Amino acid sequence: MPKAARTNVGHKARKGKRGRVTAAVSNRSRAHRGAARSLASEELQIGRTRFEAVMEAAARSGLLRQKSSRIAGRVSPALVAQAKRQTGITADTDLIAFALANVALDEGFAAAFRTSRGKVPADVKLGF
């Protein structure tokens, strides 16, 4: 079978600049990318909102008053990239401050939730 006849589902074969067969992206693929971009945009907005809320809480708690300490360390570039993608933070300094503020402001909810597991009294009325 000639190469030009082999195409993937959802793609159309066409000749590129150098006469090679390339794949043209279908409208369905473009629509999917558009939906993915929209979802990514929503997630970015949520990340920004969370960043602002955490940093505002840290400021109210007095944790951001003085900036005289320096921190350094080696971390995975993939970890940094994923954290930046999820939060929308672009500066390393802001990312570190956000991460530390999250830890500093943690009120132990997860631990309290774990210790209370299975301890709801039988006589509690749940409303149904």
pLDDT, tens digit, for every residue of 39-81? 566 766 667 788 889 999 999 999 999 888 888 899 999 999 9
Compute the distance between CA of residue 122 and CA of residue 45 in angstroms, rounded to an integer.
Answer: 42
| Exposed / middle / buried, residue 23 (Cβ in 10 Å: 0-12, 13-18, 19+) | middle
Number of domains present in the structure of the chain: 1
**Residue 10 clears pLDDT 50, i.e. is over it:** no
Does 13 map to a domain? no
More confident residue, 43 or 105: 105
What domain range includes position 93?
A: 20-115
Does 47 map to a domain? yes
Does 9 map to a domain? no
Q: Are 106 and 99 in contact (CB under 8 A)?
A: no
**Residue 86 clears pLDDT 90, i.e. is over it:** no
Going by pLDDT thresholds of 50, 70 and 90, the confidence category of residue 98 is: very high
The pTM of this model reads 0.53
Mean pLDDT of 79-86: 92
Does 125 map to a domain? no
More confident residue, 113 or 61: 61
More confident residue, 63 or 112: 63
Does 8 map to a domain? no
